[in-house]
Amino acid sequence: MTKVFVSGAFNVLHAGHIQFFKDARALGDYLIVSFPPADLLWNLYNKKSVLEDADKLALLRSISYIDEVVLSTDEDAEQSFRSAFVELKPDILAVTTDDLYVEAKQRLCDEVGARLVVLEKTLPEGKNTTSSEVVARIRAPRHVPLRVDFAGGWLDVPENAIPGEYVVNCAVSPTVSLKEWKYRQGAGMGGSGGWSVLNGWDPVSSELGLGVGWQDPAVIAETGACVWQSGRYPVLDFKNTGDFLQGRMAIYDTRIKHNTPGLAGLQRNFRKIAKAARVARMGVLEQDVTVLAVGVQLSYQLQLEEGMAPLESIGASLAHKYCGGGHGGYALYLYESEEDRAAALASCPYLYPIEPYCRTFGKDEQVPWAPEYLERLHKQNVHKDNF
């Protein structure tokens, strides 16, 4: 009889584990599975056990490919299963391609006369998965805000980063969810970042993979009015709730689709972008909408120099600019007072109110559209092509 041995945390059992057990069992006649108990998992690997040891034992023993389940008990991160392995004397030790301790395991096999076999880590359908991805999906929020960017856009793209400079933005409501997404697709308000957060994907990696920056998922996850340090990865400089912007922001639907990734390679004056961001940063720091508006208007002038179409004046706005750098989507308008914004909203059917959003600690809350603006959206059929 050929005995096969595998070990792992198996912290969240998923289809990838089942495929691994199936492939390992196919190497012989008898499959032994070993895992470290909760205290050892924490002490050796700094991982919290998702399941109680008894639950994990019950689940593993119920899998048809597994013939025996044993505990790993040795205080050795590379060979925590050593005692069980030496005692049971299996013929094969099976590991996956991402195993961190292959060399140590090969030495153990040489010591006891076993053979090491490396297996691909795949789902039955061929898609790679990990326990961390499963946990991330469980932890993903049900509702997230989108964002407006005030200044410093493109300084969050790693190759454009300028040390000592800033990216300034704000999370905004109404919120979105996987079921409820009323904004127009191609909005320029960080929709792809929000989609990644809702799905439990690594949102920063997802955005950088599109060739754009990290500011969207960073502020969507952080919430509030935020200032970030320009760099390869998001580092928060400071934030506040954004309450000073309550009743003072609106977005204008240009009815032109926004496309940031397609324009990421254009030449830009990043020093001027940085100058606008320093002014906007001061506005957020001092919670002064008039100072913030200067930074926003400087950013808009740079958008015009880049070739974006001029935006129309709507009411007594302090400043306006396109959301993002995609030459379309929504545009942000700032107003000095709630009365000024209300007058502008009444004058323009394509203008919608938004508010700063700062998540209450521990809450996953939905902030819906006001009924009158939801009706406006329906009349214009804005969200018919959305996610």
Tens digit of pLDDT at every position of the chain (387 positions): 999 999 999 988 888 889 999 999 999 999 999 999 999 999 988 888 888 999 999 999 999 999 999 999 999 988 999 999 999 999 999 999 988 899 999 999 999 999 999 998 777 665 666 777 777 777 788 999 999 999 999 999 998 999 999 999 999 999 999 999 999 888 899 998 898 889 888 767 766 665 668 999 999 999 999 999 999 989 999 999 999 999 999 999 999 887 766 666 677 899 999 999 999 999 999 999 999 999 999 999 999 999 999 999 999 999 999 998 888 899 999 999 999 999 999 999 999 999 999 998 878 889 999 998 988 888 776 554 443
What is the distance between the alpha carbons of residues 245 and 357, in angstroms, rounded to a whole number? 10
Q: Is 385 exposed, middle or buried (0-12, 13-18, 19+ CB in 10 A)?
A: exposed
Q: Which of 147, 140, 197 is nearest to 172 (CA)?
A: 147
| Distance of alpha carbon 353 from alpha carbon 180, whole angstroms | 18
* End-to-end Cα, the chain, rounded Å: 54
What's the residue count for the chain? 387
pLDDT at position 386: 44
Cα separation, 336 vs 244, whole angstroms? 10
Residue 82 burial (C-beta neighbours within 10 Å; 0-12, 13-18, 19+) = buried
d(Cα 205, Cα 214) in Å, to the nearest integer? Answer: 8
* Distance of alpha carbon 211 from alpha carbon 56, whole angstroms: 41
Find all residues with CB under 8 Å of 330, minimum gap 6, and list them.
Answer: 183, 184, 187, 188, 189, 251, 252, 253, 254, 258, 322, 323
User: Which tokens in the block code for residue 307?
Assistant: 């070739």
- Check residue 287 and give its pLDDT: 98
Give strand pairing partners of 169. 149, 226
pLDDT of res. 384: 46
For the chain, how long is the longest CA-to-CA vector? 84
Contact partners, residue 302, CB within 8 Å, separation at least 6 = 268, 269, 272, 273, 276
Query: Does residue 366 come out as left (phi exceeding 0), alpha (psi in the -120 to 50 range) or beta?
Result: beta
pLDDT confidence of residue 376: 86
Tokens of 107: 């030495």
Which amino acid is it at 298?
Answer: L
- Bridge partners (DSSP) listed for residue 118: 95
Q: Give the model's pLDDT for residue 45.
A: 86
Question: What pLDDT, on a 0 to 100 scale, did the predictor assign at position 315?
Answer: 97
Strand partners, 332: 251, 321
